[in-house]
Amino acid sequence: MGILIRPVITEKATADSEERNRFAFVVDKKANKIQIKEAIEEVYGVHIDKVRTMLIPGKKKSRNTKNGVVSGTTGMYKKAIVEVRSGETIDLYSNI
């Protein structure tokens, strides 16, 4: 599980998994598409057709506190969207 960090569970990712059989994961920044494909096939026991990756940049955030405005940034991460063969699926909610 060094390559896979966590699945992305949002409204958009859930709709994409139901309609197009694609699933999103946050992965290690240094992992390539072949490593991501092998890791998902090993952990979930499915066959992957396509892997798409993207680097999500950090965003600037600020909030007001009693000591003044505190500024910072969120972390940058890499997201992978994998397309599973038709007829197969990944159950992301089984461990909850």
Total domain count, the chain: 1
In this predicted model, what pLDDT tens digit does every residue of 3-55 receive, in sequence order?
999 999 999 999 999 999 999 999 999 999 999 999 999 999 999 999 999 99
Asked if the structure places residue 94 within a domain, the reply is no
Asked if the structure places residue 50 within a domain, the reply is yes
Taking residue 57's Cβ as centre, other Cβ atoms within 10 Å add up to: 9
At 66, which CATH number? 3.30.70.330
Q: Which residue has the tokens 């197009």?
A: 20
Length of the chain: 96
Predicted model pTM: 0.85
Question: Are 29 and 77 contacting, i.e. CB atoms less than 8 angstroms apart?
Answer: yes
Encode 9-20: b = buried (16+ Cβ within 10 Å), e = exposed: eeeebeebbeee
In terms of residue numbers, what domain contains 11?
A: 4-84
Asked if the structure places residue 15 within a domain, the reply is yes
